[in-house]
Amino acid sequence: MGKLEKLNENIESLRRHLNVLIEKNVNDTELLLVSQQLDKLIVEYYSIITKKSAN
């Protein structure tokens, strides 16, 4: 499995987890941490895509 595929899997997993937290009305640091982790993975994903398209 390539790096993009693995990143995509991790993004989808965190996104599902974040949605579960939201549905449970979790409003604490766990929600913030998961959201920040998701943001970080998305930035990494798009950084790789941008570099590939530039080549």
CA-to-CA dists, residue 27 to 14, 22, 41, angstroms: 16, 8, 22
- pLDDT value of position 43: 97
The pTM score is 0.86
- 17-55: pLDDT as tens digits: 999 999 999 888 999 999 999 999 999 999 999 988 887
- pLDDT value of position 10: 97
